[in-house]
Copies of this chain bind each other. A is one copy, B any other.
Amino acid sequence: MTPASARSPTRVHLRHFSKSLPMSLLRAREAVMRHFRPSLRRHGLTEQQWRVLRALATVPDIEVAGLARATFLLGPSLSRILQDLEGRGLIRRAASPGDLRRGVISITAAGAALIETVTPSSEAIYRAITQRFGAEKLAALQALLRELEEAVADLDTALPDDEPQAALPHAGKAVR
């Protein structure tokens, strides 16, 4: 576990920038997810596929758009995931009668069974984390995160979108 580059003297601060808010959130999330991934992986599921299955387990069925919001996945990602899960027989899809554009997703018996297989270890990990960190601190953290979310959402209305800067074709060789 000892870091491999404890020799070059060129590591003066670098620390200060890993304290930025996005980095802190990323690190914390990664530290948590590190514990869940192995268990999911043993059952052939990614974190996002697991989110989809869990969301589906709470309702009889749901449209794709609603599922995207519930799982916090973007449309394209969800589209790929649903194809995969459908191919494995874990979910089922049907067209909404009355609006053939809408797809209605529901979990299959196999999907529900998989959830029951994975849930125990998943919840055990969550309990261990809660206990280690403290239930009150966890609640406080969740509250702060929610407040942060709302605060920065309001920024959308405060600033126009980003900055007053004309849409100049940027000089570099591009993002796409």
Contact = CB atoms under 8 A, between A and B. Distances in A.
Given A35-B155, A132-B155, A13 B146 contact: no
A72 B5 contact: no
Interface residues of A, number: 91
Contacts of A25: 25, 28-29, 32, 145
How many copies, total? 2
A31 B43 CA distance: 31
Contact of A148 (B12, B141, B163, B175): B141
A47 B148 CA distance: 20
A22 B29 CA distance: 6
B165 A5 contact: no
Given A12-B59, A17-B58, A151 B129 contact: yes
Interface string A114-152: 000000010011101100110001101110111111011
Interface in A146-164: 146-149, 151-155, 158-159, 161-163
